[in-house]
Structure 1
């Protein structure tokens, strides 16, 4: 089967890598210099047996609809389903209609009622752009004055343009976060191995939100949610009613639902849905698959999943290497040193994201999140050690890395191993 992956980042690099296990050929458009099979040809002009659309923007813009209209097999929702990510207000309204547990919220287009709503809430305050903001249109703060100023910046268009001129204010939830991918065929969804990501730019969860500075998988909940109970609750209380609500609106959702959950004292609650594989979680979830990703996505695209995904018992940790100034104004154009040395670390994969070639043909920085350095090991502690060993071999001016990705999970894994 010939597969076309649409996109150019670390997510698409990992998708192409795993799909290539079974595909006769994998093309990635537009791809990047570190992704084998990259072609700078519009997807509508390519011939493939299966199209897998990576980023949210082409999905919201209706690329899946156009390809399906040409008779192509496509994994990715149409524009009617992609509005789940294209409008957070729409998503929250659908969750309320479906009875899915989520934070209390209000949506606003004017500053005065938004500020009045803030005054009724207790911190932390959560403010989100309604539209797409590349994972960066979220403020979480305990400072009411900062929240009020953010409302003004979003609604005026000063912060995120049109994407912010409608916003959602949510109740602040407390608890560990977990990311779950659900592959859907329009009628049902199957869950992949859970992961956890790290959104803030700085160690200890400090600084502004980013698209994600690292991740690990599997995320293993404790207590009442252990032993598969989280997966059962999520399937019954979140995915089934969501897909039913989409069908009630006439939406045949064939693609992935990327669910961000918070495990609160009152039980799991949904933070948001995205309509594509998440980055940086894709890089640690999909490579651990022992079943065929290609078969699963092709069956979902055809409207009838029969396969049940399976995963290795090991772990992966992804450490994102970013440019100086990310997320506000990343510096670009710096040559990346040490790529081959990093790849030589056992159990490590280095996926290119924001990269290009310079005038001398060397790989250089070309975006905010530049590389995903993924270590793999028997447990999170070992995988983390390998990832950071590879990161130490990489360099460019101003390279930015969090030093605490999966640190707590690794400590838990090391303690468990020591107790055996």
Structure 2
């Protein structure tokens, strides 16, 4: 429920006053949603349940002369998002309308036995298909972590606040439902002018976020999972690698994510000897092997992971590895900017900007 129903998750945060929450309204009646959204200002409009990664749009209401056109676009989105949910018929609400927030995104994944948690390092995903964060959102085109179990733009204090939000969510969820939560809870966060802000929950590892997180783990994942199941997670010994970074990149056929039929049935070849020599690992995704060749199934075909001493060194190696993955009959795409200096420096600047605002608000008691 915490992943399936966005309305349930938002209501839980407000009922138990969990930090990181934002203003929202959930609607069953489409006409009520249309009336509300026309005067709601800048909003994010979402299907009220998970619907295969479809249907989330953010509208910034900043130019008065565009308001009529913007309201028409909002109305179109409300109808489209509600249609995505109607096909499921398993939750009460159809639409969630939230205040729009902006900032720098990151993911916190925790493993729990219902009492203790192990928080994995913060990971930054890149959900837009093309460089410079443009194009449609998808399942994730790559992730970064480091140096060590950190991110370049996130402070330890912000990381700690994010973990506390996850801890309080698990406590609230177990009180609300009356069952022990065992397994993984992931939070998609954004560092905004409110501080660490929760965007969505997932009751599982993120993909490809889990690649980077486990690349940093010194410990036995199976032992951790068994300890969580048996309620003895606090006894597990583990640590995270220091002094290294990890970058992962997805390689996808052109057409993904919206034209998956176009992206299906394409051939992929890989120079595995070169990839291994460069110290990268390849994880197979939406592909099938046919007659010794790999054929795409329409989604992210493979993900490549590298661990290095610095972002500069790791970036050069993973780009060389990705260039060894080709298609003789189609165009493959990946994001060249992930892990690059220019994008990381931009994230740091963006984080510093919102950090200055939320700290100013907190100093003056205006953080609510």
Q: TM-score, normalised by structure 2?
A: 0.82
Structure 2 CA distance for aligned equivalents of residues 169 and 378 of structure 1: 43
**Residue in structure 2 matched with residue 395 of structure 1 by the alignment:** 326
More displaced, 382-391 or 127-136? 127-136
Matched, 1:362 2:290: no
Matched, 1:242 2:183: no
Structure 2 CA distance for aligned equivalents of residues 348 and 380 of structure 1: 14
Q: Deviations over 1:54-102 (max 9, x none)?
A: xxxxxxxxxxxxxxxxxxxxxxxxxxxxx11111111111111221222
Structure 1 CA distance for aligned equivalents of residues 187 and 312 of structure 2: 25
Q: Secondary structure at the match of 2:257?
A: coil
Mind listing any 5+ residue stretches in structure 2 that lack a counterpart?
61-69, 349-368
Structure 1 CA distance for aligned equivalents of residues 215 and 73 of structure 2: 40
Q: 1:86-165, aligned counterparts within 5 Å?
A: 86-100=4-18, 101-123=20-42, 125-142=43-60, 143-157=70-84, 161-162=87-88
Structure 2 CA distance for aligned equivalents of residues 327 and 297 of structure 1: 32
Q: Secondary structure at the match of 1:356?
A: strand
Mind listing any 5+ residue stretches in structure 1 that lack a counterpart?
1-82, 416-420
More displaced, 274-283 or 126-135? 126-135
Q: 1:5-404, aligned counterparts within 5 Å?
A: 83-100=1-18, 101-123=20-42, 125-142=43-60, 143-157=70-84, 161-162=87-88, 166-218=94-146, 219-220=150-151, 222=153, 226=155, 228-236=156-164, 238-248=165-175, 249-305=177-233, 306-313=235-242, 314-330=244-260, 331-341=263-273, 343-358=275-290, 360-396=291-327, 397-404=330-337
Structure 2 CA distance for aligned equivalents of residues 342 and 131 of structure 1: 43
Do 1:136 and 1:211's aligned partners in 2 also have CA atoms closer than 8 Å?
Answer: no
Structure 1 CA distance for aligned equivalents of residues 219 and 104 of structure 2: 29
How far did 1:147 drift?
2.5
Q: Secondary structure at the match of 1:344?
A: helix
Do the aligned partners of residues 375 and 201 (structure 1) sit closer, same or farther apart at CA in structure 2, a change above 3 Å counting?
A: same
Structure 2 CA distance for aligned equivalents of residues 336 and 307 of structure 1: 41
Structure 2 CA distance for aligned equivalents of residues 325 and 271 of structure 1: 27
Q: Deviations over 1:224-263 (max 9, x none)?
A: x62x212322233x12321221221202100111111111
Structure 1 CA distance for aligned equivalents of residues 145 and 196 of structure 2: 18
How far did 1:199 drift?
0.7
The root-mean-square deviation of aligned C-alpha atoms, in Å, is 2.4
How far did 1:403 drift?
1.9
Do the aligned partners of residues 109 and 400 (structure 1) sit closer, same or farther apart at CA in structure 2, a change above 3 Å counting?
A: farther
Q: How many residues align?
A: 325
Structure 1 CA distance for aligned equivalents of residues 50 and 271 of structure 2: 32
Q: Secondary structure at the match of 1:94?
A: helix
